[in-house]
Homo-oligomer: A and B are copies of this chain.
């Protein structure tokens, strides 16, 4: 009565199209932004969607995601190759694409603020949108984006992922800004500082005496991302809410 009695039967499978979709986040001017592309064809023509595309015959989903990311952002393959791509989950509802059965593997990527909003990809139009006050997206991409946002917020609690939003060298104030933007809360500066510096491998001080300022005020010491991937113990959100 079922699909595959013992092991797979290679002649009885149902063909699906498999795509990757990318939730690409950046923090610009203390606000969270998402990269969206405008749809050039039906359905949802003229609407906005997450960047993505089909997995090629000899590609893994992650390779496809990196390729698409490079195409949409104009980043070099090298840069994209070093980024952490977080596989979120796979969306399989039968009617999520009105034309055919499409299964989509969703990834999240975190980028520092880029000089140019987008590179010369082949998508009709791509641009950064502020994450809040987004209208409806094409397909189930609104749902995917919401899941991505939840995941990133949760991962900030127990990983060093936040440094991915920062340039190579950053101040603790900038790192705190990233947390505040993603979590949508204000953090106490001395406490944040104490916690970050007390976590081995989270950040490491940049040696040279060079310092920098964000406008007025005392110049801040510079740090770069450390070697650690996880935070022990975690840096929990105030009023902890777990998506």
Q: Whole-angstrom distance between the alpha carbons of A40 and B101 in the complex?
A: 30
Interface size class of A (residues with CB under 8 A): 35 or more
Contact A49 B7 (CB under 8 A): yes
> Which of B13, B62, B101, B122 is close to A2, meaning CB atoms less than 8 Å apart?
B122
Number of copies: 2
Q: Which B residue sits closest to A42, measured CB to CB? A: B7
Near B by CB (< 8 A), chain A positions 63-114 give 64, 67-68, 71, 87, 89-90, 92-94, 97, 99-103, 105
Contact B17 A17 (CB under 8 A): no
Contact B8 A17 (CB under 8 A): yes
**Nearest Cβ distance between residue A96 and chain B, in whole angstroms?**
9
Chain A interface (Cβ < 8 Å from any Cβ of B) = 1-8, 10, 12-19, 37, 39-41, 44, 49, 53-62, 64, 67-68, 71, 87, 89-90, 92-94, 97, 99-103, 105, 122-124, 138, 158, 229-230, 232-234, 236, 240, 242
Contact B101 A8 (CB under 8 A): no
Q: Whole-angstrom distance between the alpha carbons of A90 and B230 in the complex?
A: 23
**Nearest Cβ distance between residue A15 and chain B, in whole angstroms?**
3
